[in-house]
Amino acid sequence: MLRNLTASDVPAMIPLGIAFFEYAKLPGVFNVGRFSDVWTKLLESGSGLVVGYFDPSGVLRGGAGIYVTPDSLTTDTIAYEAFFYIDPAHRGRGVALLHQLETEARNAGAKRLWMVHLENEHANAMQRYYERQGFTLREHLYMKVLA
């Protein structure tokens, strides 16, 4: 089942946040308090949106979160992906999750949805996946650890 998450769902998002952080091999230390605070505020304010996938027993097994914000270059509202993660045992739900995320971004007034994918062993497959879903490659994102 897919549904939009609310601030009351943030505690259920924490295991997914941790799993995404580890899967992505992100630098630093995952901070549960910061994650909870940021997503609670984003969901309460409407500046963030998360679509969750729940297994038949009602456990949150995946989610995609976006920031909805004014474009700094135009008068358009746009949406940027913050995370897209599905528990490996529940993969295969990604297309439905992405389509629902697109619908919700559009409902929030976004004119464009920017999605990213990790440069890992699945990078080429993810590029093909997004292209099949109608996305076009617009830029590459680089990260440099400064501290």
pLDDT of residue 121 exceeding 80, the answer is no
Question: How high is the pLDDT of residue 140?
Answer: 79
Q: How many CA atoms lie within 13 A of 141 on its CB side?
A: 10
Give the whole-angstrom CA distance, residue 62 versus residue 87. 6
Selected from 3.40.50.300, 3.40.630.30, 3.30.830.10, 2.40.50.500, the CATH number assigned to the domain covering 2-132 reads 3.40.630.30
Tell me how far apart the alpha carbons of residues 36 and 38 are, in angstroms, rounded to a whole number: 6
- The reply to whether the predicted model has a pTM over 0.75 is yes
- Check whether 93 has a pLDDT greater than 90: no
Task: Give residue limits of the domains in the chain.
Answer: 2-132
Decide which of 76 and 140 is more confident: 76
pLDDT at 80: 94
**pLDDT tens, 13-34?**
999 999 989 988 889 999 999 9
